[in-house]
Amino acid sequence: MGISDPIGKVDHGQKTAGSALYVADYPARGVLTGRLLRSTRARARLVEISIPDLPEGYLVVDSKDVPGTNGVHIVLDDTPVFAHEYVHYVGDPILMVVGPEPVLVEQILGSIVVTYEDLEPVVDLEKSETAFFDYTIEKGDVSRAFQEADRIIEERIRTGYQAHAYLEPQGMVGLSHGGRITVHGSLQCPYYVHKAVVQAMGFEPDRVRVIQDVTGGGFGGKEDFPSILACQVAVAAHKAEKPVQVIFNRREDMEFTPKRHPSLCTYRVAVKDGRITAMDIDVRYNAGAYTTLSAVVLQRGIIGASGVYTVPSLHIRGRAMKTNTVPTGAFRGFGGPQTFFAIELVMEHVAGQLGRDPLGFKLAHLAKQGDETSTSGRHHFPVPIRQMVEEIDALSGYREKRKAYRHQSGRFRRGVGLSLAYHGAGFTGSGERDLIKAVARLHKRSDGVVEILTSITDIGQGSKTTFTKIVSRELGLPTSRIIVENPDTDRVPDSGPTVASRSLMVVGELLRRAASRLKGNWREGEEQMIEERFKEPDFVIPFSLETFKGDAYPAYSWSVNVIEVEVDTLTGVSRVLGAYGSYDVGTPIDEHIVTGQMEGGLLQGIGFGSMEDMTADAGGRIRNNSFSDYTIPTSVDVPNLQVRLHIEKYPSGPFGAKGAGELPLAGSAPAYVLAMEHALGTPLDHAPFTMQDAMGILSKETI
């Protein structure tokens, strides 16, 4: 059996039997319920908080109760555990009411009166004058290229919020016992949470323990936010001296937890003799009220702003702007999908203005192996996009349909769109080498069972299964002899967070190396512990965050997407007739898992491009806080989903594997909107492009 051949997921049994314990499933006896009192104002000074007399056993927890630092350690520490003096967005947590009866907790919450002194909020990205982060990428001679250009084309492209819409909302339990704090819950990154709780509690690291419960989806939404909630429950449990559980309902989760950053990108493109010679790009992301992960989200966004293309001269400025809205954070793709959406539309529109075929124009600018990247690093490995385009063209009939749908006049009109994209596999820049320094262990018990010890969390993406397959294969043992539990910081080393499509490529490779060493050194009947540490591959050109130069990523995963739509010109409703994707993630460690990730991501990206419409109102409040006000694609929305895997092995990944999880988000929204553009016969400039947007264009047509 090959490493790519599918096996049953190792955690399917308990999930399908209903015996898997999610955070809300833990016994409630003796556990107090916590509910957060949140700001109703977008920006205000807290003048007075009037709390009624509390019944026996009920308490209020606020910033004064934080024993350590009232700042949640994420990248910077500006997110308070509980608001102090000021609130900066609608939903900013002010305090927590804790007690045994959920109904009474809710009543107490409703009877607390907060007096605010309102301050002028900034809600609109374009009106914000505060940049949390401001980065510049420079390459070549941009001003000369613009002087010598025979044509300059300018475009503005926008994308909106996207909610993670994981099945399980955020939830966390804190326990205080014997001078220690234990936090367990729904989370992606046990050691991020650990560091945050250590700082908020002011404890030595060994007094904090973090355990991941079975987690019902993350998509990045459980990368940063659990650190905040963990600090809140830790402080509450410490004060109450009892376990405290906070489980968000769907409304609270959708309104007040991070989302994908809305973006506004302005492109100026210099063209000479039919080729793009330079781009001057301005990228602005709406970061919301606190910085959370905006620095790193923005970095990935600007690095990808020139897409899969080699542009000789580049000037890219990226800013993450503060607004008085809910902080935005990590979301599958991590800043990439916004700029990949923009560049794919820009390339199409520039080709159109030059009277060129868009696919031919894109391929003429495609990066090749050996080319410089946007950050003056290298494409060290083959760029397989051309072959993938041919494969998807054969599957979808793209080129033929592109011509056939040119002049349509009936009620139903069709269109096809194509996008090219990549995902830089692993952490951006030198983070893996300088910050994460991943460690993974294999513990061989005396009975010959091998336990995998890493801090990687399985949040549905299948890492327990792929890790098991790697270790089993390398050791030549059946998978039944390999075990992997949910991470517990008392037991597992820090292998880094479960983010950035790094888990399999980076930590999976550490496990493969550990297994290989264990095999060569196997001592029957003895307990053995094998440890491996991250080492940067030799070929990598060191990356500098000061100059934005060097290899931002060691390797890239690639995608080609085609989407075909049919628009009803009477109603504006569109239907996806087919969504096709060719993906190169190196060797798939499990074909079912990788195909599932690609299909899921393709669909999640179609949602981002077509229907997932979320906005903050003039007062800074998110109004789309349920699945009836925020619609996501369901299984009936895309019946014809076709995924193909193209394999370019990556020598530094386990068995040739690269990052996979985030790739499929990048290309689907641009392919969808370009298909709508083709069907409607007019250039479009934003995502989501909803049926109301389509109606807006169609109604103008008939006037």
Binding residues for ligand MOS, rule: CB under 6 A, are 188, 220, 223, 330-332, 334, 499-500
> Cβ-count burial of 202 within 10 angstroms (0-12 exposed, 13-18 middle, 19+ buried)?
exposed
Structure tokens at 368: 């090749």
Q: Which is nearer to ligand MOS, 417 or 426 (CB)?
A: 426
Q: Which is nearer to ligand MOS, 226 or 688 (CB)?
A: 226
Amino acid identity of residue 107, one-letter, is Q
Q: Which is nearer to ligand MOS, 336 or 586 (CB)?
A: 336
Q: Which is nearer to ligand MOS, 332 or 379 (CB)?
A: 332
Least separation in angstroms between residue 529's CB and ligand MOS is 29
Q: Name residue, tokens 């888990």.
A: 503
Q: Which is nearer to ligand MOS, 121 or 301 (CB)?
A: 301
Least separation in angstroms between residue 182's CB and ligand MOS is 24
Question: How crowded is residue 391: how many other Cβ atoms within 10 Å of its Cβ?
Answer: 16
Q: Which residues contact 360 (CB under 8 A, 6 or more apart)?
A: 351
Least separation in angstroms between residue 294's CB and ligand MOS is 12
Least separation in angstroms between residue 192's CB and ligand MOS is 10
Least separation in angstroms between residue 499's CB and ligand MOS is 3
Q: Which is nearer to ligand MOS, 425 or 675 (CB)?
A: 425
* Long-range Cβ contacts of 405-413 (<8 Å, 24+ apart): 405/678, 405/679, 408/679, 410/569, 411/568, 411/569, 411/570, 412/566, 412/567, 412/568, 412/569, 413/566, 413/567, 413/569, 413/679, 413/680
Strand-pair category, 450-453 with 208-212: unpaired
Q: Which is nearer to ligand MOS, 37 or 228 (CB)?
A: 228
Q: Are 500 and 224 in contact (CB under 8 A)?
A: no
Question: How crowded is residue 573: how many other Cβ atoms within 10 Å of its Cβ?
Answer: 12
In 3D, which of 179, 149, 173, 57 has the Cα closest to residue 108? Answer: 57
Structure tokens at 676: 């709508």
Least separation in angstroms between residue 392's CB and ligand MOS is 26
Least separation in angstroms between residue 576's CB and ligand MOS is 25
Locate all alpha helices (DSSP H) within 375-420, ordered by sequence: 385-396, 398-404
Structure tokens at 558: 């690639």
Looking at 51-179, which runs of residues are DSSP E strands? 59-61, 86-87, 93-99, 113-118, 131-139, 151-159, 171-177
Largest Cα–Cα distance in the chain?
83
Q: Chain centroid to CA 314: how far?
A: 26
Q: Which is nearer to ligand MOS, 499 or 611 (CB)?
A: 499
Least separation in angstroms between residue 668's CB and ligand MOS is 16
Element (H, E) at 315: strand 313-322
User: Can you tell me the distance from the alpha carbon of 96 to that of 83, in angstroms, rounded to the nearest whole number?
Assistant: 11
User: Can you tell me the distance from the alpha carbon of 613 to that of 254, in angstroms, rounded to the nearest whole number?
Assistant: 12
Least separation in angstroms between residue 503's CB and ligand MOS is 10
Q: Which is nearer to ligand MOS, 70 or 215 (CB)?
A: 215
Q: Which is nearer to ligand MOS, 611 or 665 (CB)?
A: 665
Closest CB to ligand MOS belongs to which residue? 220
Least separation in angstroms between residue 2's CB and ligand MOS is 29
Looking at 376-478, which runs of residues are DSSP E strands? 412-425, 439-444, 450-453
Least separation in angstroms between residue 296's CB and ligand MOS is 8
Q: Which is nearer to ligand MOS, 225 or 689 (CB)?
A: 225
Q: Which is nearer to ligand MOS, 666 or 684 (CB)?
A: 666
In 3D, which of 282, 426, 310 has the Cα closest to residue 377? Answer: 310
Q: Which is nearer to ligand MOS, 499 or 598 (CB)?
A: 499
* Region label for 437, one of left (φ > 0), alpha (ψ between -120 and 50) or beta (otherwise): left
User: Can you tell me the distance from the alpha carbon of 671 to that of 357, in angstroms, rounded to the nearest whole number?
Assistant: 16
DSSP character for 504?
Answer: I
User: Can you tell me the distance from the alpha carbon of 211 to that of 486, in angstroms, rounded to the nearest whole number?
Assistant: 7
Q: Are 39 and 49 in contact (CB under 8 A)?
A: no
Q: Name residue, tokens 């927890």.
A: 61
Least separation in angstroms between residue 222's CB and ligand MOS is 8
Least separation in angstroms between residue 687's CB and ligand MOS is 18
